[in-house]
Structure 1
């Protein structure tokens, strides 16, 4: 048994039984190839993530520009709408007044010097202003 025990625990035999890298390079190649492919996949995924982040940031900035341009256009249109609403109110007021016969008579007398029956129109000249 002692001889068998020596054979089992002989450190020189264990080293002889271990394959060295020079003897079996095929055992080492798949591991390095696997590491390289994993590294390539990681780098590819990182590039993909970074490009997605950059793309989304660029998209957000472009959308922000579009939104601000639309807001400026909206404010301009709101101002124009207020002006047009005021003009519409003035025109509606004028239409109501022009449908009133008393207003038409007063307007014709004031602007075109029409007179009622029995009235005499007297024109008073405006005084001249001296710049002295």
Structure 2
């Protein structure tokens, strides 16, 4: 969630600088998408490790298996939100535009950082014995 928050806050800062109710709704939506992407990666890592795959291979294979799904989800959402974000000055878009801008900014950072940060954190936690998987 912090990864998604970074992009949402930056998008508010660089566009209007005002945290409105639609922007907060955008954050809630963004947190759901970012959480789903993280769960996809972690569950895939745990599934592979329970089969006895080494940690490095688990992270490499697990990330490449889910990369397409994560990128396509983010790209589809971003393509749908771009018209809403850029037409903020038109009547009726006062609510949609701040929400779309927050989601777009957060999608960009959370997707990019999830691809790089989650594997690193998983590796660190696994090496410290915090994450335990049972072999099948």
- Indicate the structure (1 or 2) with the bigger Cα radius of gyration: 1
TM-score bracket for the superposition, by shorter chain length: under 0.3
Which fold has the larger relative contact order, with Cα–Cα distance below 8 Å and residues 6 or more apart in sequence?
A: 2
Q: TM-score, normalised to structure 2's length?
A: 0.25
Q: TM-score, normalised to structure 1's length?
A: 0.26
